Amino acid sequence: MIKFGFIFLISYQLCFSASACARAEYEVNGECCPMCAPGNRVYWHCTIDTSTTCVPCPPSTYTDEPNGLNKCLLCTVCNAVQGLRVKRSCARTADTVCEPLEGFYCIEQNKGSCGFAVKHNECHPGQYIRRAGTALTDTVCGNCSEGTYSNGSFITCQPHSKCETKGLAEIKPGTVSTDAECGSSAPIGIIAGATVTAGVVLVTLGVSSLFYYKIKHRRPTNEMDNNYTLPIQECGSMQSQCDTETTSPDSGIPLISSSKSPEMDRQSAQVVSLPLS
């Protein structure tokens, strides 16, 4: 009985050894065939009389390990939609190696190639870049403290500008996201003096213009006297009645009437001058 068991064990080991293929072999129909080298595929499987027939992989395909495949593997495409670009092109013996686009980092990797990437976090105004993102890590942001600012793209927060040290006036105070705004300024005494001087010049010009206007449009004295001085006409001796009315050229109101008596007219011609009102 013991002898029969020993014989069975030996027979089992021999059968198992015959059916198990070596590391560089693959099994087909119970036979162990040699594998094809990387960059190749199986064209014909081995037989009792022949070894495995292999052929190179066609373009855009590869095998990167010894294999017993009938078809080569398709090369990976680095898709920009997935945040990827080509780091190393595909070859017969190696697949394409992808890497994240600029400003992206990888979240899925396989055999040293990135399978998917996402965009780096962007720091907001009032934050600075504490640690810049890489192809494998995201950006880390920090908050600015009081008296400093950053627009989100600075690696450190910058102190607000001191306008007084530049001899300028502060127009707008700084915030955590913006710098202080400075503007040109002048001493108060100079500003007040300039204002007073400008006022005096304007008043002087106004008075001069008014004086010039009055002189230019004033009516001469002789002309005014002639307009308001009218003679009394002398009536002849045969004239029974002589009436002369003198009116103001401007108002049309009678100023003087001559006497209806011929005797007064013959004495002398009188000139009546009305005083100017």
At 224-253, the pLDDT tens digits run 444 444 444 444 444 444 444 444 444 444
Global pTM value:
0.52
Higher pLDDT, 259 or 26: 26
Instruction: Read off the tokens for 185.
Output: 């300024």
Q: Report pLDDT for 211.
A: 64
| pLDDT one-digit tens code per residue, 113-162 | 999 999 999 999 999 999 999 999 999 999 999 999 999 999 999 999 99
In degrees, rounded to 5, the angle at the alpha carbon of residue 92 between the alpha carbons of residues 89 and 95 is 45
d(CA 262, CA 243): 11
Q: Which residue has the higher pLDDT, 64 or 9?
A: 64
For residue range 32-61, list pLDDT tens digits in order: 999 999 999 999 999 988 999 999 999 999
Structurally, at CATH architecture level, domain 121-180 sits in Ribbon (2.10)
Which tops the pLDDT comparison, 118 or 214? Answer: 118
Looking at residue 17, what is its pLDDT? 44
* Phi–psi pair at 244, nearest 5 degrees: -130, 125
Q: Is 28 helix (H, G, I), strand (E, B) or coil?
A: strand
What is the reported pLDDT for 220? Answer: 53
On whether the CB atoms of residues 259 and 234 are closer than 8 A, the answer is: no
Which one of 3.40.630.40, 2.60.60.20, 3.40.640.10, 2.10.50.10 gives the CATH number of domain 18-74? 2.10.50.10
Q: For residue 91, give the nearest of 38, 35, 153 by alpha carbon.
A: 38
pLDDT at 214 over 70: no
Cα 160 to the chain's mean position, in Å?
A: 22
Distance CA 244, CA 229 (A): 13
Taken in order 253, 255, 260, 266, the sign of the CA dihedral is: negative
Give me the residue spans of the domains in the chain. 18-74, 77-119, 121-180
**CATH number of the domain located at residue range(s) 77-119 in this protein:** 2.10.50.10
| Tens of pLDDT, residues 169-212 | 999 999 999 999 998 764 444 555 556 566 666 767 776 676 66
> Is there a common fold for 77-119 and 121-180?
yes
